[in-house]
Structure 1
Amino acid sequence: MSIIIALRGKGNSGKTTTIRILHNLLLANGYVQVRSNFSVNGGDFITIFSKKGKLIGVTSSGDTYDLVHDRLQEMVNANCNICVCACRTFDRSAKPGTNAAIIEFATYSNQFVEKTVDDNAATRPATNNSDAQNLLRLIDSWV
């Protein structure tokens, strides 16, 4: 079985930061990077990891239908068993949004993980780290 794990939250809630932390946690926990355009200087990325014969795709692109759909399609085409992405809390308009892009991949089950809201700049790094740790535990449970 294959799954899409979507970190869902409002704009500027730390989704990209959390997924960037997750990228580093995967590397630190025995996941082998197969392909990546990750940059330490920031920006959206897509990385494919391998562990125990499973492929795990991770992308930080999560603001528009096209970005989410296209990155997920790349991961599906690469035969990823687990795909991790970000998406907005809800689709704001009549046009398909990020949630719709995820649901379109009918052969994958979906698990939406709510991004913890933390408006306190002093505690936000710890909150993002905690959310990334939770994503890692979820991924580990599927590997």
Structure 2
Amino acid sequence: MRIIALRGEGNCGKTTTLNLVYDDLIAKGATVFIAKKQVGGDKRDFETVLIYHGKKIAFFTMGDYSIYLIEAIIKYEALKVDILICASNIKFVKPIKKIVTYNHNLVIKSIASPKTKTANSIENNKDATTIVGLI
């Protein structure tokens, strides 16, 4: 399994960006292998598995909770997905120690300056494009 981790501080747009990646893959013909379901208390956080270009791609966006991210890594390795795309808060040490034991790509979340709705959207889309390019 390869891990693509979007790393950043809490509330910086990681989940929003990974929702954009999901939407882009669906628009490009990905099919749902395991249905998208909400995880945690934020209605935007989700997990799912897609099939895209013959690869099983899992998503886990609840990266602001260390233990749940570690559990997701173990879960998706057991499910033999090809790629896990996840959010990962930079303040946690244990998840990154786990992530780097796999073939991995770390994408640092771009932050708009100044933080306006339009500028945030531009940065989120830029990061989503980067992640899709790594698949």
Alignment TM class, shorter chain as reference: 0.7 to 0.9
Q: Which runs of 5+ in 1 are unaligned?
A: none
Distance in 1 between the 2:77 and 2:30 partners? 19
Runs of 4+ in 1 over 4 A off after TM superposition: none
Question: Secondary structure in 1 aligned to 2:34?
Answer: strand
Question: Secondary structure in 2 aligned to 1:33?
Answer: strand
Q: Which runs of 5+ in 2 are unaligned?
A: none
Which residue in the other structure is 1:100 paired with?
Answer: 97
Which has a greater percent of strand? 2
What code does the residue aligned with 2:130 have? N
C-alpha deviation, 1:11, in angstroms: 1.2
Aligned-residue CA RMSD in angstroms? 1.8
Instruction: Give the TM-score taking structure 2 as reference length.
Output: 0.85
Instruction: Give the TM-score taking structure 1 as reference length.
Output: 0.81
Q: Is the 8 A contact 2:36 2:49 kept in 1?
A: no
**5 Å matches for 1:52-91?**
52-91=53-92
Question: Secondary structure in 1 aligned to 2:86?
Answer: strand
Q: Does residue 1:126 correspond to 2:122, yes or no?
A: yes
Distance in 2 between the 1:51 and 1:12 partners? 28
Which residue in the other structure is 2:51 paired with?
Answer: 50
Q: Is the 8 A contact 2:18 2:61 kept in 1?
A: yes
Q: Is the 8 A contact 1:13 1:118 kept in 2?
A: no
Question: Secondary structure in 2 aligned to 1:48?
Answer: strand
C-alpha deviation, 1:90, in angstroms: 4.0
C-alpha deviation, 1:36, in angstroms: 2.3
Question: Secondary structure in 2 aligned to 1:6?
Answer: strand
What code does the residue aligned with 2:104 have? N
Q: Is the 8 A contact 1:64 1:98 kept in 2?
A: no
Q: Is the 8 A contact 2:110 2:127 kept in 1?
A: yes
Inter-CA distance 22–38: structure 2 relative to 1 (3 Å threshold):
farther
Aligned residues: 130
C-alpha deviation, 1:45, in angstroms: 1.0
What code does the residue aligned with 1:70 have? E
Q: Is the 8 A contact 1:49 1:55 kept in 2?
A: yes
What code does the residue aligned with 1:52 have? H
Deviation by residue 1:76-127 (Cα, 9 ceiling, x = unmatched): 1211111110112243xxxx53313423xx3x31211110012512310121
